[in-house]
Chain A
Amino acid sequence: MENVLSILFCLSLFYVIVTSRVKAYVTVLQIQGVLLSVLLIIQVIHNFSVYGIILPITLLLVKVILIPRYINKVISELEIKRRIEPTIQQMILLPIVIVTMITIFIVSSILSKNTAMDVIPFASGFSSIVVGIYIIMFRKKLIVHVCGFLILENGIFLFGTAVASELPMLIELGVLLDVFVVVFLMGITLNRISSTFKGFEVSHLGRLKD
């Protein structure tokens, strides 16, 4: 069942690479949040504990409801245009991602011979981290960078569930809080930038002077 969820996770990564709308990024973030919470709920069902339920519920609250709503609010308040404006052609990025994924799957299967871990969740988490970095590298809009960062964070989460079957819950909750604060700060920063410059592209920031 974990493998199935990881496959769906990888499919969402492919979609996020080919899409060219900002709103689709937010939808993908929601889908990934749901997938991760289902993954955790399955683990709770296997060995039930009251504290085990708190994490998936918080995850659902933060990743599916709070953060996407906040990003949507920022998008509508700042009247950000819906195109993502890539720095390289979309067509080139997809083959790069495919090659990266193949490499990651091969590497993780080699790694799994020495360490105990699930190959598929591990590799999909790892590819999600790399895809997040690609999105931050190859997109111009700042709001898309925030989404890329969140995809990277989702990858770390999946990665964590694959390597250690149970991370200490407090750490996970702390990470969630951190992520929420970061997104919040990004929103405030975007607001500040919009009051100084026209537009929200990284290319504008290159011209900053003292």
Chain B
Amino acid sequence: MGIDILQGIISIIIILGLSPLFAGLVNKQKAILTGRIGAPILQPYYDLQKIFKKETINATSSSFISRISPLINLVTLVIAAAMLPVGFWKPLISFSGDIILFAYILGLARFFQILAAMDIGSSFEGMGAAREATFALFAEPIFFFTIGSISFISGFTSLFDIYHSIELTNISYGVFIIICSISVFMLAVSECSRMPVDDPNTHLELTMIHEVMILDNSGIDLFLYQYSSYIKLFIYAILEISFFYPFSQQSYLLGILIFITGSAALTFVLGVVETIISRSKMKNIPQYLLFATAIGILNLLIYTFTK
């Protein structure tokens, strides 16, 4: 029992500590693939340190919501991070039905971010909030259809148990997992505002979704937002990597090894995807998200009729 809690705490610390590194690795890969040298891998840490030192200024028209929203954002993401397994370690929070909590705790973070963006009263950020809400509407079914179909297949409703029941030796099970991982990848791309949905680098008002919402924040507030967006990316990366653990053999060393190689492979995949794909038009994004939902529905259908 004690060891379980200790392992859970260690995995949270790993997630919180390594998440900026993950973002840095993705940016570095992207830079190398496009023929640039790129910022150092540790650049996100430097950025966070720089933002942390700056003074926090709030808009005069803003209410208490803009002040509590960054904190709520970080706290909810830390709770979400506590539900994911690192290696074969049991996460700190794990009970049957925690996939629903996982989805809605991320939803809460997004809700407060949208509220805070509208609270400032800039029409600019209202536009970003509207976009975020619209695309979130299409992104939610992806999570429920894919994770829901895996939970049907495995018969568990807790993230750790679901991943625990995966056996890659069964070929049709393997296909389910691969299809699910495609759709989770598309979800991750949209939730973390990466390339085909949103461009993390641009500051052009017409194109951005996530970046525009935090435009009026500075200092500690910006630090919290930025850090939680790094954590969010890493959370989705872990959600994706966990499909590929061979949970039938339990060995801690193998788990950690797969965690590291999986993260590295995922940064490479993200880098390649962001290099070869350009940001799609705003009107095409719902279609992109619906495609991922369709994959989830197909998975569910096929499982229901082969049982």
Contact = CB atoms under 8 A, between A and B. Distances in A.
Interface of A: 1, 3-4, 6-7, 10-11, 14-15, 18, 90-91, 94-95, 97-98, 101-102, 105, 108-109, 119-120, 123
A90 B288 CA distance: 11
**Chain A contact surface mostly:** helix
Contacts of B286: 91
Interface residues of B, number: 21
Leading 5 A-B pairs by shortest Cβ distance: A119-B305, A105-B301, A4-B175, A91-B287, A14-B294
A10 B305 CA distance: 15
A96 to B, nearest CB: 11
Contact of B179 (A11, A18, A102): A11
Given A7-B298, A91-B290, A95-B290, A105 B171 contact: no
Give the residue among B290, B291, B294 with the most A Cβ atoms within 10 A.
B294
Contacts of B304: 105
A153 B302 CA distance: 22
Given A3-B306, A105-B305, A119-B305, A10 B298 contact: yes
Interface string B17-57: 00000000000000000000000000000000000000000
Contacts of A123: 305
B65 interface: no
Interface string B289-302: 01101110110011
B172 interface: yes
Contacts of B291: 14-15, 18, 94
A106 B41 CA distance: 51
B172 A4 contact: yes
Given A91-B287, A94-B287, A14 B305 contact: no
Given A7-B179, A11-B179, A18-B287, A98 B305 contact: no
A97 B255 CA distance: 40
